[in-house]
Structure 1
């Protein structure tokens, strides 16, 4: 069945809707600022957090309606000193055996490994040939349809904070985003790019797997779980080793949750997520013809399809976000199959505080979760030492 695009994503409706949205925006902004002045309207949140959350909700509703596309480029741009172009053909011989691209990565012949633009935070590792003690490979948020890594505004507060706290470089790839009109951008495009970035660290920079930490917020957290599953289930074919640890920040763990259930969630008034954004992301990222019974569906929706890995997993969530229940379920499910999992909860904050701690005025909570992640990495960091080559 053909995927239907939003009527506001097509001209002239897109132009008319955008014009209307911009015309009424000043009045809506004024209304939001005034509405949240009384504490009774804020659901135990600060005025800044309540206003910032509502503004994000407003932006995402506009972006969803017009199916906004984040412009991407393979050119260095202003980030030249932090930019790297990763070419899968130069990282490893993809035609050789074993190839790092197998199994679920070959489900659509039209989707092939592609060049990936990536950016270092805070700065690249030294070029003297000595591998850094730690490197974080972080995947950004955006429901697989939005977001990027080129600027601090796109990447959010977390990557730079993580780099400073762990005193290590963070590499953020701009994996391919999905859209409804181009089905060659659906799964496994993003996972192919994740494998490309991981093999770049392993084979081009010669960084030992025990020095690599996988990290991802929201959809990026989903991508980290998919990469871990791929390494676990296809490792013998790809020879990809386990990383040191995995950090999941408000991961999008369950893509099967209906939009209506999201909009009816008890935390809907303290979060910016909504069912329409879920539908846009799921419909764009899910390959044509797939449903929950498809053989590789667990690669895009891990909750309820947990697997055992020896990689220690850190999951951070907020009790005020809509995805909180799925985070708890994912943590328990992974623990039940024998994984080492630490679940860190904060009391207040919407979805993805890792991305927006500064925006929401939650720097204290943000620094706390970064600190907990640092402790986690130090505590579990050598667990893989004996199993890595």
Structure 2
């Protein structure tokens, strides 16, 4: 609700949706998607673009990368299983506002999704990109080999992080 209130505040201040970009990392990526879905349901104008870094968007924890990349990020693989139960509460983890990969993604703005090639949540990014593309959404998925969950936090200390932020800038600037 807070994200919707903040978005409505921007619109009330006459900020054009084409000048609004939303984004987040990890659970914030899931919140980004849930916000887009709620805005669409409310028939509000959507932002120009959404940018997500390692989004957590499938709280059923069925992604194969939770197992295949477990050796690189065991704390994340274990943690998301526990957090999914707490976050969903009494609701189904397949609820589209909890696990946006199960939503009707049609009509969303362009999406940029970045993920690390060895991260536990890699499958979330891949599945989100596939489902969004199938729904006709313009999607760019960037997988950075040998990178972990939210590797972008390393900023200029890691060349891949710098490249990821450069690509975010290029992606946004490439849109009309």
Runs of 5+ consecutive residues of structure 2 not aligned to the other structure: none
User: Over alpha carbons, which structure has the higher Rg?
Assistant: 1
SS in 1 for 2:100: coil
Asked if the contact 1:221/1:249 (under 8 Å) is kept, the reply is: yes
Aligned residues: 175
CA RMSD of aligned residues (A): 2.2
1:348 aligned to 2:143? no
1:218 aligned to 2:26? yes
- Equivalent of residue 35 in structure 2, options 204, 227, 231: 227
Mapping 1:128-147, distance limit 5 Å: none
- Separation of aligned partners in 2, 1:325 and 1:230: 24
- What CA deviation, in whole Å up to 9, does each residue of 1:248-293 have, x standing for no partner? 110001100159983xx12112224132x223322222142x2256
Mapping 1:306-321, distance limit 5 Å: 306-321=104-119
1:376 aligned to 2:171? yes
Mapping 1:1-389, distance limit 5 Å: 192-203=1-12, 205-235=13-43, 240-257=44-61, 262=66, 265-271=67-73, 272-275=75-78, 277-288=79-90, 290-292=91-93, 297-354=95-152, 356-358=153-155, 363-380=158-175, 382=176
Asked if the contact 2:65/2:123 (under 8 Å) is kept, the reply is: no
SS in 2 for 1:248: strand
Flag the structure with more relative contact order, 1 or 2, with Cα contacts below 8 A and sequence separation at least 6.
Answer: 2
Runs of 5+ consecutive residues of structure 1 not aligned to the other structure: 1-191, 383-389
State the shift of 1:345 in Å.
1.2
- Separation of aligned partners in 2, 1:370 and 1:299: 27
State the shift of 1:302 in Å.
1.5
Change in Cα spacing, 1:259 to 1:328, as seen in structure 2 (3 Å) is closer
- Separation of aligned partners in 2, 1:216 and 1:298: 18
State the shift of 1:303 in Å.
1.9
Q: What's the TM-score once normalised by structure 2's chain length?
A: 0.89
Q: What's the TM-score once normalised by structure 1's chain length?
A: 0.42
- Separation of aligned partners in 2, 1:260 and 1:250: 15
